[in-house]
């Protein structure tokens, strides 16, 4: 009989298994705990980072809001300053609404000197004159339906607008020029702006006929632009009064506003002109006008046409005693021209252009001198209003 097989005892190996399993089980149990801890640490870091980012964003938003608030305050302060400047400059003007609307669009108004502000208004007036000129020209290009008075008045207006632009340009130059004292330049600006203002109303008066039924028909369509020019110029003159004015010197004035008398003449008459005015008329004359034909010409108009243009020296026209029935126009190119007559009631220029004969106000002047420097001595100009009335 075979001996029984003895199997080895497996207890020790079996005894090790539970330890390994235990270690493995612990490892598996600790793994989720480590994951949870890691997740919490990671999540905590993200939370901290997110919180920090949110704080920065809120901080930036607060800075932006503060910046916008400062900008808004600055804009409000600038607007208030501009409005105060408008009120200050428009005080005393006759056309305040036009003044306020004009100055509202001028940048840095509160910081501009008054001279510069007036220059800006003068520039706006010049632009308005060009617009009026274009408007009037458009009607002349469509002559059908225009009355004779409309055509005459529109032609006068265009000529007056051209002169107005020249006067406004002179005013702008005087306001910015440094070659004369402030007081002298202001006096010159007042003169040319006053002439520019008069031109606008002279233009409109040309449309008036002998009766309402004979008035021009175009005036209602152009007068708005022309009034706007007049209002701008008027406001410029009002603002100009706040600049330093020329002080009036003591002494008797020949005519108020024309200066003192010196040696029997206004002080602005030069020594050379005083000499010429005191000399015998014929001896000092460059041209002589006589109705009897004893001079160079028989009419004043012919002598004016023969005088040199843009003369730098005084040119004297002696007009002998007599009545000269003519309308004389001295253009701006006839500079330094002097008329000398034989005395009041002796040398007389007279004419009778009037509205009945389809003459406009602008063309009715007996003697129209369109230059800056014109002197006359002892000459009387008489204008008849209509043919059947006595002249005055």
- The C-alpha atoms of residue 239 and residue 86 are separated, in whole angstroms, by 12
On whether both 109 and 174 belong to a single domain, the answer is yes
- Examine the pLDDT at 360 and tell me if it is beyond 50: yes
Q: What is the pLDDT of residues 296-340, one digit of tens each?
A: 999 999 999 999 999 988 899 999 999 999 999 998 889 889 898
The larger pLDDT score, comparing residue 213 to residue 93, is at: 93
The larger pLDDT score, comparing residue 255 to residue 270, is at: 270
- CATH number for the domain that contains residue 162: 1.20.140.40
Residue 191 within a domain: yes
- The C-alpha atoms of residue 33 and residue 40 are separated, in whole angstroms, by 10
- The C-alpha atoms of residue 217 and residue 219 are separated, in whole angstroms, by 6
pLDDT at 186: 83
For residue 357, the enclosing domain spans 271-374
> Of the ranges 20-29, 105-114, 297-306, which is most confident?
297-306
CB neighbours of 90 closer than 8 A, spacing ≥ 6?
96, 99, 100, 103, 235
- Examine the pLDDT at 160 and tell me if it is beyond 70: yes
On whether both 89 and 209 belong to a single domain, the answer is yes
Of 233, 158, 266, whose CA–CA distance to 202 is shortest?
Answer: 158
Residue 247 within a domain: no
What's the domain count of the chain? 2
- The C-alpha atoms of residue 105 and residue 124 are separated, in whole angstroms, by 11
pLDDT at 293: 94
| Whole-number average pLDDT of the chain | 78
Residue 383 within a domain: no
């Amino acid at each position: 009989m075979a001996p029984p097989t003895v199997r080895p005892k497996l207890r020790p190996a079996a005894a090790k298994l539970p330890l390994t399993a235990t270690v493995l089980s612990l490892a598996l149990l600790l793994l989720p705990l480590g994951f949870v801890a890691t997740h919490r640490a990671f999540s905590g870091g993200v939370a901290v980072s997110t919180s920090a980012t949110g704080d920065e964003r809120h901080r930036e938003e607060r800075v932006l809001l503060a910046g916008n608030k400062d900008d808004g305050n600055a804009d409000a302060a600038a607007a208030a300053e501009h409005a105060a400047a408008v009120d200050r400059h428009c005080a005393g003007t006759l056309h305040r609404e036009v003044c306020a609307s004009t100055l509202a669009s001028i940048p840095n108004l509160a910081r501009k000197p008054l001279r510069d502000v007036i220059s800006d208004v003068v520039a706006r007036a010049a632009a308005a004159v060009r617009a009026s000129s274009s408007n009037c020209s458009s009607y002349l290009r469509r002559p059908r339906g225009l009355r004779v008075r409309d055509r005459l008045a529109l032609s006068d207006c265009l000529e007056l607008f051209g002169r107005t632009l020249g006067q406004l340009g002179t005013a702008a130059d005087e306001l910015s020029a440094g070659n004369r004292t402030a007081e002298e330049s202001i006096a010159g600006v007042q003169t040319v702006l006053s002439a520019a203002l008069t031109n606008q109303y002279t233009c409109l008066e040309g449309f008036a006929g002998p009766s309402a039924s004979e008035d021009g028909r175009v005036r209602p369509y152009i007068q708005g632009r022309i009034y706007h020019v007049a209002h701008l110029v008027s406001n410029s003159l009002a603002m100009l009064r706040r600049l330093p004015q020329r002080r009036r010197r003591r002494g008797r004035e020949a005519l108020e506003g024309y200066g003192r008398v010196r040696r029997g003449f206004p002080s602005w008459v030069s020594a050379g002109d005083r000499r010429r005015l005191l000399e015998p008329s014929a001896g000092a004359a460059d041209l002589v006008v006589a109705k009897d034909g004893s001079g160079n010409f028989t009419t004043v108009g012919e002598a004016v046409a023969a005088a040199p243009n843009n003369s730098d020296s005084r040119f004297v026209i002696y007009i002998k005693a007599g009545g000269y029935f003519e309308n004389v126009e001295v253009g701006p190119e006839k500079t330094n021209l002097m008329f000398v007559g034989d005395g009041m009631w002796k040398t007389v220029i007279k004419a009778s252009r009037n509205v009945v004969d389809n003459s406009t106000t602008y063309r009715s002047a007996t003697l129209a001198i369109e230059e800056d420097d014109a002197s006359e001595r002892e000459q009387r100009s008489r204008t008849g209003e209509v043919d059947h009335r006595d002249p005055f």
